[in-house]
Amino acid sequence: MWTTGITYIRTAQGWIYLAVVLDLYSRRIVGWHMEYYMTTALVNRALMMAINLRQPPKNLLHHSDRGSQYASHDYQTLLTQHNMQCSMSRKGNCWDTQFNMVWNARLDLTRVGIGEVVPLR
């Protein structure tokens, strides 16, 4: 099972969006991408990185929130083309995707020198 999320990171140039694909079994980041805008391309590129690196098995469960990026036709087409089963959080319940998974992924990225951890206020 893979889960996804989007967060933001402070850089010297300002804020940047980070999309992460996390493998729940290994608890490792299997795909990620950063851009200055939160677009469908952001999440598509993170997913493609995960697919290319991990070559997931057929019917892999892929969980996300119901954000417009994940609900987009392009993203759903990618999931279908790669034989993934789409799972989305309940309508109006963003907590189904568990922010701490993305937070942990953020920490992993900082360990390899990508971005910095900014305390949430």
Q: Where do the domains of the chain lie, and which CATH numbers do they carry?
A: 2-111 (3.30.420.10)
In sequence order, the 6+-apart residues with CB closer than 8 A to the CB of 108 are 28, 29
Q: Encode pLDDT of 17-32 as tens digits.
A: 999 999 988 889 999 9
Q: What is the pTM of this model?
A: 0.74
Q: What b/e string do you get for 31-65 counting C-beta neighbours within 10 Å, with b at 16 or more?
A: bbbbeeebebbbbbbbbebbbeebebeeebebbbb
Which pLDDT value is given to residue 65? Answer: 83
For residue 107, what are the CA distances in angstroms to 18, 62, 88? 12, 22, 24
The three-class DSSP label of residue 23 is strand
Tokens, residue 8? 């933001």
Q: Which helix (H) or strand (E) holds 49?
A: helix 40-54
Q: Encode pLDDT of 59-87 as tens digits.
A: 998 888 888 899 899 999 999 999 998 88
Q: Which helix (H) or strand (E) holds 80?
A: helix 73-81
